[in-house]
Each structure stands twice: as structure tokens, then as C-alpha cells.
């Protein structure tokens, strides 16, 4: 395998077997994850994704699966809430469950990421300063609730005013990060990122290439890390006959982000990469990733993956690998 490919794909997949369309029982999902951890493709696998409300379901596997020698990285999903107070109340309940989980599992797990959808009320009339203020308050709850470093990723609902909402939230996160990182009060709370949903249970939940491109562009301009979820089981964008929807590809989305960083691409250029359904346009050479005539060096890839394009959640670890093998990349 080319080093450009391994740099692109290293620890890129967070395993979300508990979530649709797989919706596996906890035992099957956790056993799958441990099997993947010992496979030859384990280098592509990152965290196990679990809702805070279901962490207790992992307790029975503590002794015979989890090990202190190789702690499992976990990404926990918060429960969100409709209004600000409802949301913060839910966060406190989630934190209690997380701390109980960490205490019970001892040194066999690491909660590295906390993902949550922000309350929709914040985006009825998007204002980045309002979002910054809310995130500052939320960060105090998370700093107090965690006893080890955690990176939060904030998701927002895609609404009719998506352009102004995306703009407000990325700018709000950027200003919030600047204020938090400049404060000595924070020991565990790390710089926040943005989470984009690339699919869902119905066609209307799939964002357009332009919407995804807008998020990539804004995160690049504001230096905000990006995590993706849903709808990215396959490498290249394609029409799915079963679901009757055009699905995004992870080579498209992450490749567009990497190239946007390397070449300061405009939104329309980013969108063109995301919309491309021709696998032959995506290439990995010994020294670079390329889409058509645009290239990103191994150093470009590694920096983008380390700082900005973190991972994507997938309910399957098998489907991405099967497609990559068909493309003779794996």
C-alpha cells in the first residue's frame, strides 16, 4: 500500500455498529469491534461509539474483553435537548453516567471524544456570539465533569437557513476555542470541533455536495476540526438503488478537505470534488493523494488528518474495506 493511502486512512473509522442501518445489539457490536482491533486492517479503526445512556451495557464485558494493557478509545454521544436548560440538564446526566462508567471500567477505557447535537433554539436566528457564549457555559460543565482530556464535537440540525447557521456555528466554535485555550482554568476540555451528518434514515437527511463543501470551507477558514457521521460507508459518491439516494463517499469528503487545506480551494471547487462519482479520479501515488490534477503531499495529508479531518462514524467496518479492495487500494 502507498504511504499516501495509509496516511489518508489511518484511524479514520469510528465504529458505530449500534446505530442505523446496522442497529446491532450491544454484544454483537462490541464483539465486532474487538475482532476488528485484532485484524490486519486495525490501523484504520479508531473509537467505539456509544450513547451515554447505553454505557452500562458494556459492563458485562469488562473482564473478558477489555484490558488495561490496551484501553479502548470511546466516543460518547450526549442526549441533546430542545432548549438550553433542557440541554444542560441532559449534559449533567450524561456526565454522571460517563463518570460511573469510567470508575467501573477503571483503566480499560478512555473517553476521548464527546459528541452532541446543540439545541435547535440557538439557530433560529443564528448569531455566532450567542453560540460562543453558550459553548463557554457548556465547556465549564464538561471541564468539571471530566477527569481526563476530552474533545467535544458539536452538531447542528440542517435547517432552511443552513448557510447562516453553518457560518455562525463554525465562527462561534472558533471564538470559543480561542477563549478556552487562552484560559488557565481548563485542564481537560480540549478545543472543540464541528460534526457534520452526511446521511440518515431517509433521503432528505443527506446534505448536498454544496452543503458539505460549505462546512469544509468554513472549518478550514476558522481552523475548526471536523468529524463526519452517517452515510459514508463507501469510498466514492454513488447512487444507491436500495435506498434510492445518492450517497457521499469518504474519499470525496476527506479528499476534498485535504485538498482544500493544501490549495486554499474555493467552495465550488470543493463541491466539485465531493460530487464526483468517478473512482478513477481519486488516486494514491507513493508520494501523494490526487484528484484529477490536484495533489496533496504525504505531509499535507498527515497535517490535515491530525489537525482538521479527524474521523467518520460508520456502522460498518466491513463495507468500506470491501470497496477499497475492489478498487485495489487495500
Q: What is the mean pLDDT of the chain?
A: 95
- Angle separating helix axes 267-275 and 250-263, nearest 10 degrees: 150
Report phi then psi at 152, rounded to 5.
-85, 145
- Where are the alpha helices (H) located in the chain, listed in sequence order? 3-9, 26-37, 84-105, 128-145, 162-181, 209-222, 250-263, 267-275, 298-307, 318-326
Question: What residue spans define the domains of the chain?
Answer: 3-326
Each residue's pLDDT tens digit, 104-149: 999 999 999 999 999 988 888 889 999 999 999 999 999 999 989 9
Query: Residue 162: which of 200, 121, 211 has the closest Cα?
Result: 211
Each residue's pLDDT tens digit, 190-248: 999 999 999 987 878 899 999 999 999 999 999 999 999 998 999 999 998 888 899 99
**Residue 291 clears pLDDT 90, i.e. is over it:** yes
Does domain 3-326 fall into CATH 3.50.50.60? no
| Alpha carbons 291 and 85: distance in angstroms, whole number | 46
**Residue 277 clears pLDDT 80, i.e. is over it:** yes
Amino acid at each position: 500500500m502507498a504511504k499516501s493511502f495509509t496516511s489518508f486512512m489511518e484511524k479514520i473509522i469510528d465504529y458505530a455498529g449500534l446505530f442505523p442501518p446496522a442497529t446491532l445489539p450491544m454484544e454483537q457490536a462490541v464483539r465486532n469491534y474487538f475482532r476488528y482491533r485484532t485484524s490486519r486492517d486495525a490501523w484504520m479503526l479508531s473509537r467505539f461509539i456509544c450513547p451515554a445512556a447505553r454505557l452500562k451495557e458494556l459492563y458485562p464485558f469488562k473482564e473478558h474483553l477489555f484490558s488495561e494493557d490496551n484501553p479502548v478509545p470511546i466516543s460518547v454521544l450526549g442526549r441533546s435537548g430542545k432548549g438550553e436548560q433542557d440541554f444542560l440538564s441532559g449534559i449533567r446526566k450524561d456526565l454522571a453516567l460517563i463518570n460511573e462508567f469510567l470508575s467501573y471500567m477503571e483503566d480499560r477505557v478512555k473517553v476521548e471524544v464527546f459528541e452532541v447535537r446543540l439545541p435547535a433554539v440557538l439557530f433560529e436566528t443564528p448569531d455566532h456570539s450567542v453560540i460562543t457564549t453558550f459553548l463557554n457555559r457548556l465547556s465549564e460543565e464538561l471541564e468539571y465533569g471530566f477527569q481526563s482530556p476530552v474533545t467535544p464535537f458539536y452538531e447542528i440540525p440542517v435547517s432552511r437557513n443552513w448557510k447562516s447557521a453553518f457560518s455562525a456555528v463554525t465562527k462561534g466554535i472558533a471564538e470559543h476555542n480561542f477563549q478556552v485555550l487562552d484560559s488557565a482554568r481548563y485542564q481537560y476540555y480540549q478545543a472543540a470541533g464541528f460534526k457534520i451528518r452526511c446521511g440518515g434514515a431517509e433521503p432528505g437527511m443527506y446534505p448536498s455536495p454544496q452543503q458539505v463543501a460549505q462546512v469544509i470551507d468554513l472549518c478550514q477558514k476558522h481552523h475548526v476540526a471536523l468529524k463526519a457521521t452517517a452515510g459514508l460507508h463507501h469510498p466514492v459518491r454513488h447512487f444507491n438503488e436500495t435506498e434510492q439516494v445518492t450517497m457521499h463517499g469518504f474519499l470525496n469528503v476527506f479528499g476534498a478537505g485535504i485538498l482544500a487545506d493544501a490549495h486554499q480551494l474555493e467552495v465550488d471547487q470543493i463541491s466539485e470534488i465531493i460530487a464526483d462519482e468517478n473512482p478513477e479520479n481519486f488516486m494514491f501515488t507513493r508520494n501523494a493523494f490526487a484528484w484529477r490534477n490536484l495533489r496533496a503531499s504525504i505531509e499535507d495529508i498527515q497535517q490535515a488528518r491530525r489537525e482538521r479531518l479527524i474521523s467518520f462514524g460508520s456502522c460498518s467496518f466491513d463495507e468500506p474495506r470491501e470497496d477499497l479492495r475492489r478498487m485495489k487500494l487495500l
